[in-house]
Amino acid sequence: MFQALGDPHRRHILRLLAGGERSAGELAAHLPLTKPSVSHHLAVLRHAGLVRDERRGQRIVYSLDTSVLQDALVWALDLTGGGSPGPADGGSGEGGEGGV
């Protein structure tokens, strides 16, 4: 997922999809890339679980899938201590002086 987010074109695609679902052609109209390049970036985003695709007749419509990103944010918050508080008994392992 982090590798997928590392490319500015893929981040731009995600920002576009945050506004609603779009076809590859609609996305390509907003990017300085060829359609095959846009398809490649969409494949990377799909593989990372950040984008979903749905066939509608002859069109494929892409939409943002935030579940993987939400999981990563929860992980990052937990890692940095910005998530939910530790156990109620203060057993987080930090500052063990003056405990029970």
pLDDT single digits (tens) 30-79: 999 999 999 999 999 999 999 999 999 999 999 998 887 788 778 878 88
Q: For the chain, what are the domain ranges?
A: 2-80
- 12 φ, ψ to 5°? -65, -45
Q: Where are the beta strands (DSSP E) in 1-100?
A: 22-23, 51-56, 59-64
Q: What pTM was estimated for this model as a whole?
A: 0.71
* Count of beta carbons in the 10 Å neighbourhood of residue 49: 16
CATH for 2-80, options being 2.40.30.10, 3.10.129.10, 1.10.3720.10, 1.10.10.10 = 1.10.10.10
Mean pLDDT of the chain: 83
Question: What is the H or E stretch that residue 37 is in?
Answer: helix 35-47
DSSP reduced 3-state for 16: helix
Distance CA 48, CA 34 (A): 21
Residue 89, pLDDT score: 42
**Residue 71: both structure tokens together:** 């999981």
